[in-house]
Chains A and B, each alone.
Chain A
Amino acid sequence: MSDTCVSIVIGGEAGQGLVTVGDFLAKALVRAGYEIVVTQDYMSRIRGGHNTYAIRVSHEAIHGPRESIDLLVALNAETVALHRAQLTSRALVLADEAIDRLGHPGLSIPFKALCPKPMFENVAALGVLTQLLCLERSWLEALIRDEFAKKGDEVVRQNLDVFSSAQDWAAGQKAVFSCMAPPVRTAKRLFMNGNEAIAFGALAAGANFCSYYPMTPATSVAATFVSQGTKMGMLIEQAEDEIAAINMALGASYAGARVVVPTSGGGFALMVEGVSLAGMTETPVVVVLAQRPGPATGLPTRTEQGDLNMVLYAGHGDFPRAVFTPGTPEQCFELTYRAMDQAEKWQSPVFVLTDQFLADSYRAVVPFDLEALPPVSGPGLTCEDPAGYKRYALTPSGVSPRLVPGFGEHLVVVDSDEHTEDGHITEDLTVRVQMVDKRMRKFDGLAADVVPPTYSGDEAPSTLLVCWGSAMGAALEAAQGLRAGGKSAAVLHFGQVYPLIPKQFLPILERAGRVVMVEGNQSCQLARLIRQECGYHFKEAVTRYDGLPITARYILDRL
């Protein structure tokens, strides 16, 4: 693996401001032209505990997180003890002078002397880091001005003074760290995480209604809607529970809104009957499910890819669906945009599965090309023969013309009971069969629209790593590691895991040597799905379900 990157970890208790230090530094690095992968590890509490904000940074492309630490900013003594085993040979520990560095090289920072008040310690730490990384100081200075502007000139000046004196102090210290290579990129990037990119993908597709119930790690999708979507005219309501959230969204969708419902596994479990209602009434809805380890409350703030099975089978009865599994913030944007279109085009529930790691992982994101976006399907407002309008008219594709109520004299009748073409309750069993077949014909349309998995690496590799969702970055870097060791390797990443189209990937699996499934759950949920759908049996798998993201090292150690 390339060693041109630096891994910086800021550790401390919740409430100590480590996320502020991390966000400032990571954003400044992105502005400066570096690539980053942020991993946030936090406990389910508001104060105390042990949290970390890890930034892996490089002037070259990087894809995944890493365990090793080159610069450890310890905001408390516990951080040194907990992470000393991860320190590399060149590592420095940066801590307040009162904290024992346990013999590790580093800097004992006189925060009290550098800061007029404890609240400035974060900015002082940034000054020290800027010096050690040889980062042009103007990047952080500009950021400090931007971020503190609303608190007034005096606050900006105080912060700049502390930043500057901390950097000067670090310049006079003996401990040195090899400078990062200067950045090569000059093009602008966005400092954005997966959930923010999901929210923007939905907004770009016209999402204008979001009903949600807060649940980690999905909450930041709703938070982005609140801060940004409102400016786009999005109507957002925090519902009384997840059952209300999805049913409210279905009512809004029926009335013509473009709806998104963000949640996590436990909340989604409550929505399942609503998913079934979306299937029966053929009402478009996009559910964003940010996974965390289950069952039940599990590990509320950690990561896992354990909810694929639930999303595949949520809802009683047969009805079609699609499941998208983005691997990067760029894919979060693109595939959520596509999910919005697919939900409307096939009048079905569509899912975007992400997880805590990707949800919170900031990257240098390539700006989205808004002008190149394809048009999004939408319902009709009026028709020529309002008296003859039938919401569930039988058609060869299974898609019936969807009108919204209120814009013409047509009546839109939808029913969770089995219904006739005009939407009314029926127990005519012939109609029942016609309606099931009609709904399931839409599966063919969804299947024809599937985004094929992406392949990168050697042709006919001796090792092929297969993955989905956020495991992509780790798999790509593990393949790089194999190639660096002289072996041919490739990665096959599924950005959409359902429907599965065997001809898109079976030949790839069959021409590889070792084929290894890499996924963040215990039971190999995608491997089982592929076996079920096309009979292919994965003989090897790397699984992770300890709540932490999959890394290249984790994969390589298990091959």
Chain B
Amino acid sequence: MIPLEQYGEFETAWCPGCGNHAILKAVKKALSTLDLPPHKVLFASGIGQAAKAPHYLRCNAFNGLHGRSLPPAQGAALANTELTVFAESGDGCSYGEGGNHFLAALRRNVTMTYLVHDNQIYGLTKGQASPTTAQGQKTKFQPDGAPSMPFNPLAVAVSMNAPFVARAFAGEIDHLADIIAQAARHPGFALVDILQPCVSFNKVNTYAWYRERCYKLGADHNPTDWEAAMRKAQEFGDRIPIGVIYKGDRAPFETRINPAVLRPLATSRPDLARLGGLLQGYA
């Protein structure tokens, strides 16, 4: 195990009590458990408070655009399959602005882990409803209640047979760390939706609210049973399951493309003799 100090300690821009602090701790724990040195890890992120997380961790980081954590993460993961790649962002970035990339990533199934800080609200822009805000929940910007139905990332991921689908809670750091480590070890695209209170802008989904409802999935849930997983993915309200919802063995993207193109692209050089041969085909 790599000592936790290796992953650094930084001052953050997060509110005291924010769930992000706990998620960061769990990420470091998971990396340590996985024995991943910082230079072998890439965190890609979008924009938002959650997306700042890679700045508070010693690792390689690509902090890109709002909604666009997944495309660069997949591009880098394919350019160098020896990197362990994570994308990390909030619910607005991941399921709203980046919704199409989420759907495509589920289809593509590149080996990487997607950590979504899901606080059911926009924090950095100060309290608008997010794609996962409950329908009818009042915000400063939706005073009559959020009009749209919330997005269900787990059900969408399970419906696409994403190989690893989990939900965790920022209030359960060890449980979360374990899930992140499991997700990173699993071949293919792994989604970890992390419930996280926003202490400044979400007065509904508080620590107490989550603690009352979240329960850990036990031995009675078989994550390889797709129908059982779909039922658990739908469960959100009085009781919220946390743990590995679904685990499958869909072949990752990397196994379905020409193996000759999968090598660290940084060290590949063009074979000009081969190119000359190809040009002969145009003569």
Contact check, B80 vs A247: say whether CB atoms are below 8 A apart: no
Pick from A189, A243, A257, A413: contact of B68, CB below 8 A: A243
Taking the complex as formed, is A517 at the interface, i.e. its CB lies under 8 A from any CB of chain B?
A: no
> Complex Cα distance A354/B54, Å?
39
Q: Which of A205, A249, A405 contacts B39 (CB 8 A)?
A: A405
Q: What are the interface flags for A421-450 relative to B under an 8 Å C-beta threshold, 1 for contact and 0 otherwise? A: 001110000000000000000000000000
Interface locus among A169-177, A234-242, A291-299: A234-242
Q: Is the CB of B267 within 8 A of A255?
A: no
**Is B42 part of the contact surface with A, judged by Cβ < 8 Å?**
yes
For A96-110 the 0/1 string (1 means CB < 8 A from B) is 000000000000000
Q: Check A208/B76 contact, CB under 8 A, given A370-B275, A408-B39, A411-B60.
A: no
What does the 1/0 interface line of A221-241 toward B look like (CB < 8 Å)? 000000010111111110111
Q: Which residue of A lies closest to B265 (CB)?
A: A257
**Size band of the interface chain A makes with B:** 35 or more
* B265 near A406: Cβ-Cβ < 8 Å: no
Bound Cα distance A368, B276 (Å): 9
- Is A191 touching B79 in the complex (CB atoms < 8 A)? no
Contacts of B267 in A (CB 8 A): 256, 381
Cα A158 to Cα B92 with chains together (Å): 63
Alpha-carbon separation in the docked complex, A85 to B260 (Å):
54
Known contacts A404-B266, A423-B61, A248 near B74 by CB under 8 Å: yes
Q: B270 touches which one: A205, A240, A407 (CB < 8 A)?
A: A205
Chain A residues within an 8 Å CB radius of B262: 235
Task: Name the CB-closest residue of B to A419.
Answer: B63
Taking the closest CB of chain B, its distance from the CB of A297, in whole angstroms, is 20
Cα-based distance from A395 to B275 in the complex (angstroms):
37
Residues of A within 8 A of B257 (CB): 235
Q: CA–CA, A483 to B69, complex, Å?
A: 58
Task: Say which residue of B47, B59, B266 sits within 8 Å of A381 (CB atoms).
Answer: B266
B222-264: which have CB < 8 Å to A? 257-258, 260-264
Partner of A415, one of B63, B258, B274, B278: B63
B208 at the interface (CB under 8 A from A): no
Partner of A410, one of B39, B74, B101, B276: B39
Q: Is the CB of A277 within 8 A of B64?
A: yes
Q: Chain A residue with minimal CB distance to B73?
A: A251
Contact of A411 with B265 at beta-carbon distance under 8 Å, contacts A203-B275, A204-B270, A211-B75 already known: no
Contact A188 B283 (CB under 8 A): yes
Task: Assess whether B283 is in contact with A190, with CB atoms less than 8 Å apart.
Answer: yes
Give the nearest-CB partner of A274 in chain B.
B65
Please give me the residue from chain A that is nearest to B72 by CB atom. A251
- The 24 sampled A-B contact pairs (Cβ below 8 Å) are A31-B283, A191-B282, A200-B278, A211-B75, A232-B270, A235-B257, A239-B71, A239-B104, A240-B104, A248-B72, A251-B71, A251-B79, A254-B76, A255-B76, A256-B79, A277-B64, A277-B65, A370-B276, A379-B266, A406-B42, A407-B266, A414-B63, A424-B55, A425-B63
